[in-house]
A and B are shown apart, each in its own frame.
Chain A
């Protein structure tokens, strides 16, 4: 297989360990006086966007940042719970940059680019240093040093955390840096603004059209470079753990202006979420993967067992992850844990009212911690009640906010009865194709964080999203952007009355007017729900050719129906929540088709992409490295559909093998 000439990944030559350090020292620089004249637009203010915007501003570039929320602090990175990985080896348990690199490549089922992933592992330690210096209150041991825990797919403790609110604390750190740059006048912040289109002139990205969500006004902004840090597209499934406003619009508009979209079928279904409770449900809530450190997952050994969990004796329980994967047990990667839960529920062993749930049980952990505390406190012969209380106190400290959230949502007390959990859409590994510099194939247009495809292959490991978002923003883009901007110092800012801006704004305006003019009979939400059901049923945890072909037809029909029968109330020149939603759902209705096409094209199973036709006898994902060890990069061709370009994945440092966690 040869890589398409349109896809030059620009990974530097040389040994893996020296690629980044060498490249960093040779990448062209922009002198401080020139930086002041170079404008960079950043879309999205989550971990990737806020860290990039603040760091680039610190370097002296003129930065404008945009977010649809009312404050940059509300980007959905805030909701990440469990932690952030870094190869610090503070626990002296054998961790190293190479091991983090290896775990990430293997965890991604050998579908990520070696060079990018190694760099990610290399800069991971600096992220922790930076965050601590910002005042991020990570969990600490009594000696005052940082505490770590384990996450799925690894056998070391390399995850740094702040209770179950790690994303919040990291984002507030990045946000505080961003606010500092705003106060210094180096960043202009545009809240309640949503990107409508990118402006491309002579093949280069030169700016954006954005909509002021309060006044409805369309604005034109010039940029020498544009960074899309707009997150993932999991909300295409309607129900997901994403925020309700999370959307694909920025990436999708870039895609339609020429940026290739890679591996859209790679979606992550997270194994531990609170199950759906009814048709009214608007989102799903994650229970952090960190809970699998101590919790044990089980179902009854008997099908259709209706007894209460606590009435089912130990011998009648099937701890199916521990049974199937003794080496990793409850800490297998997410894709594997999710499929195993689905397998048990589909086979009739599910629990709860809907029977679409499994138990996550803390009874053993409470007992174990309780005994430990009793020993520590010199309690000889403690009573069962004493042990129980001491154990609960420990669990509360580690996971209290998660247990409270569970109780709030379900009305059940998880300290007394095991939690019921089921997989839900959580993260998307696919995204805009980028090279080693994080630049898309459109010069001047970059994608960072979840919005790009580059580091997680076909399955992301827990606590790696925060690492990647901050790596891209703090430590990669500030260097790599020089390789492009050094060549732009002679190019003055383009006046925004340039024809390309006028045209892009006109297209955006016409689309908005069209959405309002349809005045059909069905709500935006009802279309979104129907699309989500198609995607979940046919392009979800398991896919097959027949279902995917059906889904493509159904999505096309739904899209036509949307554009003739959707009802958007209100006007274009005001805060209009239905109009915002309609624009986002219209883009999802296009992306859905591409996800199914990509899933259909990939005649193998890998990571989160499970094609039922391709599995081992034991029901594990069966890759086809000979034919599919490539990144699929889709080129949008208007009405004609998409054209596939392939970037071959070359593994020079890791021996590609069947992934085993047994």
Chain B
């Protein structure tokens, strides 16, 4: 049910970034879309525009999306100058009741050198996978584990680790940051594993390796403005960045691994 201010049948002006591929120059294209219901999700609104484009024999707008319930982290749209738009939820969970009839909405891809464009609103976020591959794990082969209850973990630590682990890897933090820094993403993983007893053995090397990979991918530095956390659809806290800095400096003082 609508929150009240948005009409049941809205007409919107959509300025959408269109770019055929990485080697072609992109531009904004303006579309008018009528018949938008406040109960639609933002992506369903784009679906309808895409259907109309196909019917006009134009190419639909390419964008990443999959689960449409805010957990897979695929969707990545910069809406009216904010990653995922105005509501601190993923674009798939943003509903049109957050907009008004007659609004103009600007839709762009994530902008970051480390996230090169593939097509239209779709970007390449494989840098995140490479950062995790550099050390975002506990080295335990299948079959080596001891009984799950043999190591009690204080509830507070488990809860805090969970809150960091809730990151969906969408990249909104990078898109929100004026430096295109990936510190929130990287720190969430480093925090999760540093907080748990299972993560202690590789604690130092993990921080060093993940930070080194982050730098190599071309993400910017952190200047503590907090835009990343403010825009994060999962509310990942800035505390993680502080914890990561501590982990990193602690590791650097004691090792020359990386």
Contacts and interface: CB of A to CB of B under 8 A. Distances in A.
A245 interface: yes
A244 B65 contact: yes
B47 A282 contact: yes
Nearest to B213: A183
Interface residues of B, number: 83
A563 interface: no
Contacts of B2: 411
Contacts of A475: 142-143
A627 to B, nearest CB: 40
Contacts of B74: 69-70, 74
Given A405-B70, A575-B118, A133 B136 contact: no
A74 to B, nearest CB: 4
Interface stretch (B48-56, B173-181, B217-225, B245-253): B48-56
Contacts of A569: 53-54, 57-60
A26 to B, nearest CB: 18
Contacts of A283: 68-69
Contact of B162 (A137, A410, A578): A137
Interface string B110-147: 00000000110010111011001110111111111111
Interface residues of A, number: 83
A163 B65 contact: no
A464 interface: no
B166 A129 contact: no
A145 B149 contact: yes
Contact of B72 (A69, A130, A137, A412): A69
Given A58-B142, A578-B54, A129 B165 contact: no
Interface in A164-220: 165, 167-169, 172, 175-177, 179-180, 182-183, 189, 191, 214
A408 B72 CA distance: 17
A109 B73 CA distance: 36
B67 interface: yes
Contacts of A131: 148
A78 B154 contact: no
A278 B37 contact: yes
Given A55-B142, A183-B133, A569-B58, A70 B64 contact: yes
Nearest to B149: A145
B198 interface: yes
Contact of A575 (B53, B67, B122, B128): B122
B55 A282 contact: no
Nearest to B129: A71
A264 B146 CA distance: 39
B129 A72 contact: yes
Contacts of B21: 574-575
A180 B137 contact: yes
B193 A135 contact: yes
B192 to A, nearest CB: 6
A577 B144 contact: no
Contact of A135 (B72, B73, B155, B199): B199
B202 to A, nearest CB: 10
B34 interface: no
Contacts of B125: 70-71
Contacts of B70: 405, 408
Given A569-B54, A575-B119, A73 B129 contact: yes
Contact of A137 (B60, B64, B89, B192): B192
A140 B193 CA distance: 16
Contacts of A58: 141-142
B41 to A, nearest CB: 7
Contacts of A76: 66-67, 72
Nearest to A521: B55
Contact of A176 (B51, B119, B136): B136
A88 interface: yes
Interface in A469-487: 474-475, 478
Interface string A123-151: 00110111111110111111111100000
A411 B196 contact: no
A372 interface: no
A144 B126 contact: no
Interface in A403-447: 405, 408-412
A430 B65 CA distance: 26
A137 B161 contact: yes
A137 B165 CA distance: 8
A71 B41 CA distance: 24
A126 B143 CA distance: 8
A97 B133 CA distance: 36
Contacts of B136: 176, 179
Interface in B73-126: 73-74, 87, 89, 93, 95, 97, 118-119, 122, 124-126
A264 B165 CA distance: 36
B51 A525 contact: yes
B43 A577 contact: no
Interface string A64-105: 000001111110101100000000101000000000000000
26 contacts: A58-B141, A69-B66, A69-B74, A71-B126, A72-B129, A78-B71, A79-B71, A79-B72, A125-B148, A129-B148, A133-B148, A135-B161, A135-B198, A144-B152, A144-B154, A163-B162, A165-B166, A179-B136, A189-B129, A244-B65, A281-B44, A282-B47, A408-B95, A409-B95, A575-B122, A577-B62
The 3 closest A-B pairs by CB, nearest first: A144-B152, A176-B137, A133-B145
